[in-house]
Amino acid sequence: MKKTLTFVVLLICSSASTLDAQQFISREGHVRFFSSTILEDIKAETAQMSAILDAGNGGFAFQIPILTFHFDKALMEEHFNESYLESEKHPRATFEGAILNWGNLNPKGGWQDVVASGNLNVHGVSQTRTIQGQMQFNEGSWEIKAEFDVLTEDHEIQIPKMVRKQIAESISVSVDAILIPR
């Protein structure tokens, strides 16, 4: 009986301490981007973003396979992958950083504003970014959402002169994901 009680106490204590150090993951995050000009709107999305959150320190990272973005027009998708993002050469976009105000989040507080800081790598070019978003803890999982802009010149994405008026220099990006316990 004493061994059983000791085991239960150790199990409870180790569970309590590992809750803070628990990792949460997603393999089905949604990423959408939108480019709007007078001549044309361009939009694409993917549901294959992978993400990980370290609940011990707020460390956060995600990656997106570029070839998984789908467009309304096949020709746009082809140009995006071959000419602009060079997807064979740069197959993923990534973010690695941390949620700066992680220690202030209340798991029972509903949607809360967060700020993530880290390196956003697109087209093989990494930029230090601070991205604002929101998170909430819901039924044992963390839900995240964020909207931010990506400048093509920041990631050395070349837009040919003949189509410059069709592609915005600033691309709006939105991210939504549910991260479940690992």
pLDDT of residue 68: 97
What residues pair up with 5 in beta bridges, in sequence order? none
Q: Tell which wins on pLDDT, 144 or 5.
A: 144
Range scoring the smallest mean pLDDT among 34-43, 60-69, 172-181: 34-43
Rounded-to-10 torsion of CA 37, 84, 126, 52: 90
CB neighbourhood size of 62 (10 A):
25
Please give the model's pTM, rounded to 2 decimal places. Answer: 0.83
- The predicted-structure confidence for 15-32, as pLDDT tens digits, reads as follows 333 445 699 999 999 999
- The predicted-structure confidence for 116-158, as pLDDT tens digits, reads as follows 999 999 999 999 999 999 999 999 999 999 999 999 898 888 8
pLDDT of residue 11: 36
- Give the class (CATH, top level) of 23-181: mainly beta
Rounded-to-10 torsion of CA 21, 26, 32, 33: 50
Show me where the domains of the chain are located: 23-181
Does the pLDDT of residue 107 top 60, yes or no? yes
Percentage of the chain surpassing pLDDT 90? 66
Token duo for residue 42: 């361009």
The amino acid occupying position 124 is G
